[in-house]
A = this chain, B = another copy of it.
Amino acid sequence: MNIILTVILFLSTLLLPLTLCAKDIPDALSIIHNRKSVRHFTGQAVAKEDLEIILKAGMAAPTAVNKQPWSFVVVTDRKDLDALAVVLPYAKMLDQAGAAIVVCAIPNQAFNGSAEFAIIDSTCASENILLAAEALGLGALWTAVYPDKDRIKAVRDILNIPQEVIPLNVIPVGHPTGEDKPKDKYKLENIHWGKWS
């Protein structure tokens, strides 16, 4: 009887690692490699606390001379999501996304007032946002606004974004259907050891 109890206890505690680890966010390298451009969403809403975790990850990105020349517009209103889908040819999946984050670059706040640094810093934030969405089991993708002048104007108009602020992208965020898969893009020929040639 005691032996049976021992075996049961032993087997049940063996399951502990699974339950403890499974609740955790997956490791960083797995998330980097599992991140994919998710274009198919279930239509479910995204929890506000998840959006906050994602925004927090965005703001953890590095910026030139720590200027943080960015802002984030979070769109969950169906009318606005649909309006964005109309003006952005590659963002039609907004119709099933629960939310969209518009990463805005602010040249006036960047190091040296530089548009280049504002774009670069906001791009680092955007990559963190894409990774954080994947980490939470959500899906996301970068749909480009900048550098297209017409799209910049259209997104500014829909979301009341000031003239001196550049909407860099619209990142639809939602619950993935599971059909989008990551790509393997590792190419040895893109690495130069030592010097270019």
Contacts and interface: CB of A to CB of B under 8 A. Distances in A.
A55 B191 contact: yes
A29 interface: yes
Copies in the complex: 2
Contacts of A181: none
Interface residues of A, number: 82
A93 interface: no
Given A10-B10, A194-B80, A32 B128 contact: yes
Given A6-B9, A9-B10, A10-B10, 11 more contacts: A10-B13, A16-B16, A25-B27, A26-B28, A33-B56, A62-B142, A66-B183, A73-B195, A117-B144, A119-B119, A124-B124
